[in-house]
């Protein structure tokens, strides 16, 4: 089965080349309507399904802006509180949609400094024998296994994941504006 892949530094469907930040690239694709992982826009960010799904339901919440806002403490208090509140709601939706035993939350920024949350549903045995007798953070699982092409969702799997997550987000959050299919530019 073919998996859904967006090559880094690639072109959108309209042939436009993108910037150096992978997160900004992905947001540009959302705005142009050609990011297959996009689930829903919130006030402070975008919800997207992760490219690799060893941790089934892995989802990211991408902050809308980049610029010089690369730390939580760079955000104004109201904006930071809203970003945190929305991240928590997205995590709740991910947990409900994909049946997590525990959620893991990561905000690292060592690949791209752009603020973005990694939200991992965790389940017993999901890092096999790695870590502390099979217990520990996701990054104790080998990178080559975590990012293997074998665990990329195909189009049918991705559509099903997006449907499940959107249903939970719609249950937890106010409905989007009437032009819900339009992403604000």
> Footprint of Zn ion on this chain (CB under 5 A)?
21, 23-24, 66, 114
- Minimum CB distance to Zn ion smaller for 23 or for 158: 23
Least Å from the CB of residue 72 to Zn ion: 15
59-63 and 102-106 strand pairing: unpaired
Tell me the C-alpha distance between 93 and 72, whole Å.
22
CA dihedral 62, 64, 66, 70 (to 10 degrees): -60
CA Rg, the chain, in Å? 16
Least Å from the CB of residue 18 to Zn ion: 10
Q: Is the Cβ–Cβ distance between 48 and 63 less than 8 Å?
A: no
- Minimum CB distance to Zn ion smaller for 116 or for 162: 116
Least Å from the CB of residue 120 to Zn ion: 21
What DSSP string runs through 45-59? Answer: EEEEE-S--SSTT-E
- Minimum CB distance to Zn ion smaller for 65 or for 123: 65
Q: Is the Cβ–Cβ distance between 23 and 116 less than 8 Å?
A: yes
- Minimum CB distance to Zn ion smaller for 21 or for 173: 21
Least Å from the CB of residue 6 to Zn ion: 15
């Amino acid at each position: 089965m073919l998996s859904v892949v967006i090559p880094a530094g690639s072109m959108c469907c309209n042939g436009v080349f993108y910037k150096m930040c992978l997160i900004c690239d992905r947001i540009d694709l959302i705005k142009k309507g050609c990011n297959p992982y996009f689930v829903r826009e919130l006030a402070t960010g975008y919800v997207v399904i992760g490219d690799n799904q060893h941790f089934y339901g892995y989802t990211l919440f991408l902050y809308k802006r980049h610029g010089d806002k690369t730390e939580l403490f760079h955000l104004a208090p109201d904006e930071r509180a809203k970003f945190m509140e929305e991240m928590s709601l997205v995590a709740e939706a991910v947990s409900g949609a994909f049946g997590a035993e525990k959620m893991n939350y990561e905000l690292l920024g060592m690949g791209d400094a752009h603020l973005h949350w990694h939200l991992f549903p965790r389940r017993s045995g999901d890092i096999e024998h790695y870590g502390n007798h099979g217990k520990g953070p996701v990054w104790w699982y080998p990178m080559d296994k975590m990012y293997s092409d074998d665990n990329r969702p195909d189009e049918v799997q991705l559509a099903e994941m997006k449907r499940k997550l959107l249903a939970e987000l719609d249950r937890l959050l106010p409905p989007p504006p009437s032009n819900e299919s339009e992403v604000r530019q």
